Amino acid sequence: MVGEDFENVPTKPEGFTPNAEVWNGRFAMIGFVLALGTQVLNPAHPTIVQQLAALNPVQLAANAATLFGQTHLCGSVDH
């Protein structure tokens, strides 16, 4: 094609390809079915709603900050 820069055309798709999204959706569906199955088969296990209600927002923020390398937001200082 005239004027097209072939040096910057990827040889293989990267990232969110349709095939990757299909597999991601399949694994998500399996996870939801397993979570619901756990609640049905084991009534002593806390429900998803109970687990979400028990989450500590301060601890969640600290975990997220540590995960993304933002430890100075949680009060710790790295020198």
Name the residue among 51, 45, 79, 76 with its Cα closest to residue 62.
Answer: 76
* Tokens describing residue 65: 């900050």
Task: Quickly list H helices, the chain.
Answer: 18-41, 48-53, 57-67
Q: ∠ CA(42), CA(55), CA(33), 5° rounding? A: 35
Q: How distant is the alpha carbon of residue 65 from its chain centre?
A: 15
Indicate the pTM of the whole model: 0.46
pLDDT tens per residue across all 79 residues of the chain: 555 666 666 666 677 788 888 999 999 999 999 988 888 898 887 887 788 788 888 888 887 888 777 655 555 555 4
